[in-house]
Amino acid sequence: MKKNWWKEAVVYQIYPRSFKDSNGDGIGDIRGIIEKIDYICELGVDVVWLNPVYKSPNVDNGYDISDYLSVMQDFGTMEDLDELIVKLHKKGIKIILDLVLNHTSDKHPWFLQSRQSVDNPYRNYYVWRDRPNNWRSLFEGPAWTYDEQTGQYYLHIFAKEQPDLNWEHKPLREELYNMVNFWLDKGIDGFRLDAISLISKHPDFPDAEETGWDGLGNGTRYFMNGPRLHTYLRELYDRCFDGRDIMTVGECAGVPAEEIINIVGQSRKELNMVFYMDHMFVDISDDGYRFGRPYPRQWSWKELFSIIKQWNSAIAPDGWLSFYLGNHDFPRCVSRFGNDGEFLRESATMLAAFLLTMPGTIYIYQGDEIGMSNARFSDIEDYRDIESINYYKQVKEKGGDLYAAMEELKNKSRDNARTPMQWTAGKNAGFTEGKPWINLNPSYKDINVAMQKGNPLSVLENYRRLIALRKRHKNPLVYGRLIEISCEDGFIHYAREYEGDRLDIILNPSDKKIAFDLNYSSVLYNNYEQSELPSFLSPYQALILQ
């Protein structure tokens, strides 16, 4: 297996809107990130991934780009971004940006032109049809919107303010490649490619076979993993990535594990790695849609573990993957896979041990390193996320059960992971001097960086130890095989092994005590304070043994 810096990297994901506000307008910004570089550095991470910072009307918090070549005013200026890149690099930290190539904002000049007339030179930059099909948008409601000006419908797999780009059209692809090269020439270290598995659609746009509660159908098999996906990825590689020492990670919903090697296999020259999502839907749904499904879906650690094994065996012999337990699109990991009440510290640190002993490039989402939990807002007015708000509106329009809808939002809304970073127990958790754009999670009084810093038992210090441990033992932990030993009754035991160098990891993902009588020469990590190996495992205990 070829060794690369991006395989060994631990990536810290920053959601700029919620990280740190430097000017009191209640919105996190680039200067705020600059203020916190030491914090990022002390964590021991290698790479920062920034969610989109381009100019945007913010219908989907920056994932609706109206100008790829300038920085969103809320976040600062291009000079601020340049300064952030230089300052991170000085500390030896790399930076990757979020590349949204599947769609733009409906305020992008290309779309403003495109909707003008059927013979506008930009018409084919987007997907226009006389008649819509029955696809449901991933953000609820139909995936097509009628535009009066020209009497046709345009496609938007996400919100109606996010029209899909038409990759079939060569001039559009050329513009995108130029833009990608502009950013790479600036010296950034790579990209996370948003919704990249959606860029090629089935040429006939067939209706989905079955329709659901809203009269719409799941068209994912027709708009994900389409027939020209590999052609386009390869072209993107040839035109932009080839010859550069960068990392690329694609968000690849809808590409089955059996096919993933065709994207990440080294000889394919497409992407370095992907984010797979099956494990992130384990408690949410069977079909990739988030809402309108009973929660929680029954799941087990055995199932979660078998998903991980399946994906890891699918990338043989020379592909690579990433691994993560949270990001800006999912509720907080400690609330889903741990216990965010009585055992918050224990379960958050156990999840950290799990995360940082998995194969693949590891991604940590801001706030998880201090054990931030779901905000569970109970008033629809407190929600900001377009997906959540759209869902609530749909239920309301259709006369559905609004109480049940609110319960779903509390558990599944993306806003759970988007509340401001909790720096201190003081005003607004030290996030802003002003009024935050989204409410804080009231937990900040007990869960914050200031209280955890220097306390060896804290979630934060455990993350630091584990990141350092992953670096020290990178042969087994980064490059080693994943060996499942037991995944029964809540007792999880697996090993990572590389040419005889082996670590064993033992987790108790439950709030019960479990008998334990294995012998090891040394304990490299324990999330409880114990000088010797215990004879039973405490709730959410995690051990790394040699």
For 391, the token pair is 């869902």
Q: Give the H/E segment covering residue 391.
A: helix 386-397
CB of 304 to ligand GLC, least distance (A): 21
Cα separation, 410 vs 414, in Å, equals: 9
Cite the DSSP H helix spans in 255-326.
261-264, 301-314
Quote the DSSP letter at residue 291: S
Answer yes or no: are the C-beta atoms of 345 and 375 closer than 8 Å: no
Residue 35 falls in the annotated catalytic set? no
Cα separation, 314 vs 89, in Å, equals: 34
The partner in contact with residue 21, picked from Ca ion, ligand GLC, none with C-beta cut-offs of 5 to 8 angstroms by kind, is Ca ion
The partner in contact with residue 355, picked from Ca ion, ligand GLC, none with C-beta cut-offs of 5 to 8 angstroms by kind, is none
Residue span binding Ca ion (CB under 5 A) among the ranges 13-21, 164-172, 253-261, 530-538 = 13-21
Residue span binding Ca ion (CB under 5 A) among the ranges 23-31, 209-217, 247-255, 256-264 = 23-31
R_g of the chain computed on alpha carbons: 23
The partner in contact with residue 29, picked from Ca ion, ligand GLC, none with C-beta cut-offs of 5 to 8 angstroms by kind, is Ca ion
The partner in contact with residue 60, picked from Ca ion, ligand GLC, none with C-beta cut-offs of 5 to 8 angstroms by kind, is ligand GLC
Report if residue 100 touches ligand GLC, rule: CB under 6 A: yes
Answer yes or no: are the C-beta atoms of 342 and 291 closer than 8 Å: no
Report if residue 23 touches Ca ion, rule: CB under 5 A: yes
Residue 18: φ, ψ to 5°:
-120, 15
- Residue whose structure tokens are 């064993």: 504
For 79, the token pair is 């000079």
Residue 147 falls in the annotated catalytic set? no
Residue 386: φ, ψ to 5°:
-60, -35
Cite the DSSP H helix spans in 317-453.
333-337, 344-355, 386-397, 402-412, 449-452
CB of 415 to Ca ion, least distance (A): 19
CB atoms within 10 A of CB 490: 16
Report if residue 72 touches ligand GLC, rule: CB under 6 A: no
Report if residue 63 touches ligand GLC, rule: CB under 6 A: yes
Number of residues that bind Ca ion (CB under 5 A): 5
Candidate list 189, 194, 283, 369, residue with the active-site label: 194
Report if residue 106 touches ligand GLC, rule: CB under 6 A: no
CB of 2 to Ca ion, least distance (A): 42
Report if residue 96 touches ligand GLC, rule: CB under 6 A: no
Residues linked to residue 290 through DSSP beta bridges, in sequence order: none
Residue span binding Ca ion (CB under 5 A) among the ranges 27-35, 138-146, 334-342, 525-533 = 27-35
Q: Which of 15, 17, 29, 106 binds Ca ion (CB under 5 A)?
A: 29
Cβ nearer to ligand GLC, comparing 60 with 340? 60
Cα separation, 382 vs 187, in Å, equals: 39
CB of 178 to ligand GLC, least distance (A): 21
Contacts to ligand GLC from residues 243-262, by CB under 6 A = 251
Report if residue 154 touches ligand GLC, rule: CB under 6 A: no
- Residue whose structure tokens are 């992971």: 417
Report if residue 11 touches ligand GLC, rule: CB under 6 A: no
Report if residue 329 touches ligand GLC, rule: CB under 6 A: yes
The answer to whether the bond into 420 is cis (omega within 30° of 0) is no
CA distances from 158 to 206, 224, 365, 431, 472 (A): 18, 13, 23, 30, 42
Candidate list 29, 60, 74, 251, residue with the active-site label: 251
Contact residues for Ca ion (CB under 5 A)?
21, 23, 25, 27, 29
Catalytic positions, written as ranges: 194, 251
- Binding-site ranges for ligand GLC (CB under 6 A): 60, 63, 100, 158, 194-195, 251, 328-329
